[in-house]
Every structure is written in structure tokens, then in C-alpha cells.
Amino acid sequence: MSDVLQTHHDGRLLRIALNRPEKRNALNVQLCRELVHTLERAEQDPSVGAILLTGNGKCFCAGMDLSEVASGDTGEITAIQEQLFTIGSRLGKPLVAAVQNAALAGGTGLAANCHIVMAREDAVFGLTEIRLGLWPFVVFRSVSAAVGERRAVELALTGRIFGASEAKEMGLVHEVTPHLEGRATELALALAESSPTALRSGLTFVQEVRGRDWKTAGEIARRIRDEVFESKDFREGLQAFLEKRAPRWPSLSSTR
């Protein structure tokens, strides 16, 4: 078992916990590499329906491990972080973050890569790289996609730290709750039981239309929707609705 990452299966939900509490879950090369590998493996595992990402200890993630940067190969660090901070655009399964306390710099970028972000009331965020004479190069795209480019530029320029309520207002966080673990688990478990066909098709659509013109996006929407219309899951969902019962997804039952 890894000493920097902990995983646990809860039915169709895969729980992943960053496990460097003594370093505030700072992202060193090992943690980044193992997290990318674990997420990519979950993407290919039909028994996994959704993923919940948390951090052990006081903080969610304090960002890049600066001690490693000072003495390590920055090229290697940049390469693995490029893989990590684009992971949200490659996953076809819901990735939910449960954020407590600090999610700074790379921690903010990690949260922005998740499809849904839940935060405790004490959570704080910030693109603080500018304070070190740096710019949040590899996380900027995901943060910009979450909050808009103009807001992301402001956050990167000022390096200011902001709370969970403001993060919710700008779209980085979806829900602020004092009951973080329970609410995040409840949501993630529900997602894990949704139609795998619909989830993957929807997330594929979001990824494919990003940056496309209106006409091309419409063509992609029609193509993917027609594919879903022909799926067994949609036929079951429609029949269950008409019969006023819970659906039994064919693509889900085949993975149990």
C-alpha cells in the first residue's frame, strides 16, 4: 500500500485520500504520479462508478512541495503535474472533491479539476504562486474553466487567499457545508449508482465541445445524444419512468 495515498472501495465509490498530513498534503512527484495512476486506473475499472478525493489531516492540499522543487528536477515535476492538472478533462467518471482547511496553489488547481467540489466552512483557496515569483502556469487552465479567465487572472495576479463562501460565489465550490464528510459521501455514492452510459456520454460531451464554435458543438451534441438514445440504459430509464419505479441500469448491473 502507498504511504502517500490511501484508497478504499465503498461499493461502486472509490475513495482516494492524499496522505502526507505532516506536509499538509503537499504535492511531491511521488504523490502526483500515484494520484494520476490511481485515477487513470479507476477510469478503466468498470466496478468504479464515481471517485471521492479527500485529504488526510488538517489540510486538503497546500500545493506544490517547495522543498522538492528547490532540490529536484523541475522538468520532471512539471511533466507529472501537467498530467495531474488536466486529469479532469480526461475522466469519464464523476470526480468529487471534499475540501477542508487549506487548498492553496496546486490545491486550488486540484479542486478545480474535480467535477463537483464540496467544502467545509473553514476551507480557504488561492493561487498563491505569485508570492514566490511564479505564475500558476499548469493549474491556470482548470481554474479558468471553473471561474472564468478574468477572475482567474485576478486571482493569479494578487495571490490573495479567499474563503469557501467566496469560492462558491465564483463557481469554484458547489456547496459549503459543516457536514463535509457526510454530504460529500452521500453525493458521491449517489453518482456512483447513476447510469454509467449517461455519465460517460455527458462528460465526453463537455470535453469535446470545450472551445468549439456553436455549430460544431451542436453537431457533437446531436451525435452523442443519438448514441445515448440507442443505449440500453436510456431505454431502461424511460421504461422505469413510465412504470414509476427505480431504474435498473443494464450497464451498471453488468459490472457488479
Query: Active-site residues: which are they?
Result: 129
243 to 229, 237, 246, 247: CA distances (angstroms): 19, 10, 9, 10
Task: Indicate the DSSP class of residue 182.
Answer: H
For the chain, the helix, strand and coil percentages under 3-state DSSP, each to the nearest 5: 50, 15, 30
Distance CA 204, CA 20 (A): 32
Cα–Cα distance list, 183 to 52, 60, 101, 117, 122 (Å): 11, 16, 16, 11, 16
HSE-CB of 248 using CA atoms within 13 angstroms: 5
Judging by DSSP bridges, how do beta strands 5-10 and 95-99 pair with one another?
unpaired
Contact by Cβ (8 Å): 29, 35: no
Q: If 0-12 CB within 10 Å is exposed, 13-18 middle and 19+ buried, where does residue 164 land?
A: buried
